[in-house]
Amino acid sequence: MGQLSETQLRRLEEHRYSCASTSLMDPLMQKWWCWLVEQCPLTLAPNLITITGLIINIITSLVLCYYSPDAKQEVPRWACFMCAFGLFVYQSLDAIDGKQARRTGTSSPLGELFDHGCDSLSTVFVSLGVCCSVRLGTLPYWMFFQCMMAVTLFYCAHWQTYVSGTLRFGMVDVTEAQFGVMAIHLISVIFGSDFWSLEVPVLWRPLKCVPTMIGVVAAIVALYNNFKIILVERGAGRNGSTVAGTSVLSPVVPLIYILAPAVLIAWKSPENLYLQNPIVYLLTFGCVSARVTNRLVVAHMTKSEMAYSDASLLGPGALFLNQYFNCPIPERTLLYVVCVYVMYDVVKYCRQVCLEICQHLKIMLFTIVPRCPPASGHGSEKNGSSSTTKYMTRSISKAKSH
């Protein structure tokens, strides 16, 4: 059976991207992004741009995890620089994929879905990378809270979108957070990761706790804005419901299915499963969160009900049942098996959804036939690049994703 029904595919054709942004840094970066997209050939597919940035981001983050598998060891300074550079590359490519789609006249709902799917995975690896850079594994519960907070914020942003029909970026949002992470990596490059172990006299905490504290303040503001829309303002659907006509509170159930097992399994583990394997543990639940968030994005774009059950939840379920029966399978062994399973499951789901949409819309995933945008004005332009420049200028106010 396919992941999407015929009804969902038909509704997907009618979907129109809606975004509102008050980001402080996005306007400052627009010149760089517009220049960068002009360097891309018109035959370069937007989704290929996105996946290239994601691969670079994942690889550079995994380098840090390799040198510090529990986020406690000091990592090489060059690895921190690579991670900062990889995130900058991902940010830049993620920002121009939508511009490239509009520039070539190949925008489609698939591009938006592909973009958000890559963002959901990037959130997991960026969180793990920054924990390794500051050696947050020496405070494992701070590390747990930071990573779970990151995936929760990403989910809630799309929960709000599912309710209101519009993706909203605040004044301090994704772009600002990415630059903050890059700054943390660069500080580790200059002073070394031991720098973050220095005590802050006023806080009576090591310096590595400061980014998490700042993140908590930003998270409170973001969650307040999201839940003000979810709980106070009326949804875009009938009688103030979600775009699918369901209860505005319905997406809370899948989120609980992620967070509750993550906390309970770590707390009840007789082998201290999380404390002994923090990176693998957080990667496992991060991939589960990415899978569920992608389903929420699909539900929003197809105006369909968000299903509570999900194949990826079998992984946390296996860990929970193993504890319930007094761990007949060694917890660490099962964790690694579950980690492989959930990573395979999220890739399989994303691949199948993309292929079904490609087949329905009769488009390719990583190749395009460019359709140049129509020239504007009363006279013809002196050259083709001038027309493209004008088209890009009109697109500056649009969102980064397709």
State mean pLDDT over 382-401: 38
- In the chain, the percentage of residues whose pLDDT exceeds 90 is 80
Reading the block at residue 59, the tokens are 């690889």
Q: Write out the catalytic residue numbers.
A: 116
**Per-residue b or e along 25-45, where b marks 16 or more CB atoms closer than 10 Å to that residue's CB:** bbeebbeebbebbeebebebb
Strands 167-169 and 19-21: parallel
Where do runs of H (alpha helix) occur along 73-139? 77-104, 109-134
DSSP string, 169-190: E-SSSHHHHHHHHHHHHHHHHH
State mean pLDDT over 325-337: 95
- pLDDT over 50 (residue 383): no
The predicted structure's pLDDT at residue 267: 94
Contacts 24+ apart (CB under 8 A), 252-257: 252/159, 253/308, 254/292, 254/295, 254/296, 254/306, 254/308, 254/310, 255/152, 255/155, 255/156, 255/159, 255/292, 257/292, 257/308, 257/310, 257/313, 257/316
State mean pLDDT over 101-115: 92
Cα distance from N-terminal residue to C-terminal residue, the chain: 28
| 132-141, 173-182, 236-245: the lowest-pLDDT one | 236-245
Q: 0.85 cut: is pTM over it?
A: yes
DSSP string, 29-58: HHHHHHHHHHTS-TTS-HHHHHHHHHHHHH
Report pLDDT digits (tens) over 283-328: 999 999 999 999 999 999 999 998 888 889 999 999 999 999 999 9
The predicted structure's pLDDT at residue 204: 86
The predicted structure's pLDDT at residue 239: 86
The predicted structure's pLDDT at residue 161: 95
The predicted structure's pLDDT at residue 203: 81
State mean pLDDT over 363-377: 71
Report pLDDT digits (tens) over 139-165: 999 999 999 999 999 999 999 999 999
- pLDDT over 80 (residue 38): yes
Task: Give the C-alpha distances (Å, rounded to integers) separating 321 from 165, 269, 325.
Answer: 38, 12, 6
Reading the block at residue 260, the tokens are 């509750």
* 25 φ, ψ (degrees, to nearest 5): -95, -20
Q: List Cβ neighbours of 128 (8 Å cut-off, separation of 6 or more).
A: 61, 64, 65, 71, 147, 279, 282, 283, 286
The predicted structure's pLDDT at residue 146: 95
The amino acid at residue 103 is R
Say how far apart CA 51 and CA 345 lie, in whole Å: 18
Reading the block at residue 33, the tokens are 């992004």
What is the pLDDT confidence band of residue 372, given thresholds at 50, 70 and 90?
A: low
Task: Give the C-alpha distances (Å, rounded to integers) separating 394 from 102, 147, 253, 391.
Answer: 10, 37, 40, 5
The predicted structure's pLDDT at residue 381: 34
The answer to whether 15 touches 109, Cβ cutoff 8 Å, is yes
State mean pLDDT over 100-122: 93
The predicted structure's pLDDT at residue 234: 83
β partners of residue 169: 21
Residue 307 zone, left/alpha/beta (φ > 0; ψ -120 to 50; rest): beta
- pLDDT over 70 (residue 175): yes
- pLDDT over 70 (residue 394): no
* 100 φ, ψ (degrees, to nearest 5): -65, -35
Map out the domains of the chain as residue ranges.
Answer: 6-366
